[in-house]
Amino acid sequence: MVEFEGHAADAARAVSQKAYKKEKKKRAKAKQAAKAEKKNPDTEQGSDKWHRVFYAPGRAKATDRPVEDIKINELLEKRSKAKEEKNYTLSDEITESLIDMEICYDDAKKQWHTRLLATVAQKAKKALAKKRESEKKSASEGPATKKAKK
């Protein structure tokens, strides 16, 4: 009988330790979330609207360049909606247009900022890289041929 009571006590101890650890993890997560909120005050709790942010830690290249905020917010809303509906082609098209406008965004925080405009040389370099990538794709899609041995 004594041995049985010992097993019951061990089981009860294990259950209480498990509950304690679970509560400890919850407290740690809450503490971490509070710490992150203090670090980054421009995040709005529960915000479901896109908004522009200016200079903040982690956004060293953010600039205060004049752009149409309303248009960009609408594009980002359309992109978010397209992703929810799993319309990834539309989402990718909107992403490309935002990249062309030098807009950077963070889906998790629903924030966006502008970057310095690329120079003509930088744009030409990007276009050339894109062209080479599409040529590689088209070359790999073609029929495979064997080279004749000489």
Task: Give me the pLDDT at residue 1, please.
Answer: 46
Is residue 114 a contact partner of residue 102, using CB atoms and an 8 Å limit? yes
Q: Which phi and psi (to 5°) does residue 38 adopt?
A: -65, -40
User: Backbone phi, then psi, for 142, in 5-degree steps?
Assistant: -70, 170
Which among 126, 103, 129 is positioned nearest to 116, based on CA atoms? 103
Three-state secondary-structure class, residue 30: helix
Burial class (CB in 10 A: 0-12, 13-18, 19+), 43: middle
Tell me how far CA of residue 62 lies from CA of 9, 56, 121, 149, in angstroms: 60, 8, 21, 56
Give the whole-angstrom CA distance, residue 41 versus residue 43.
Answer: 5
Residue 147: the pLDDT is 60
- Chain segment 117-134, per-residue pLDDT in tens: 777 777 788 888 888 888
pLDDT score for 5? 64
Write out the H or E segment, with its range, that includes residue 130.
Answer: helix 120-141
Least confident residue range of 75-89, 99-113, 119-133: 119-133
Position with higher pLDDT, 1 vs 39: 39
Q: What is the pLDDT of residues 14-43, one digit of tens each?
A: 888 888 888 888 888 777 766 665 555 544
Find residue 105's DSSP bridge partners.
112
Say whether pTM exceeds 0.75.
Answer: no
Residue 45: pLDDT band (50, 70, 90) is: very low
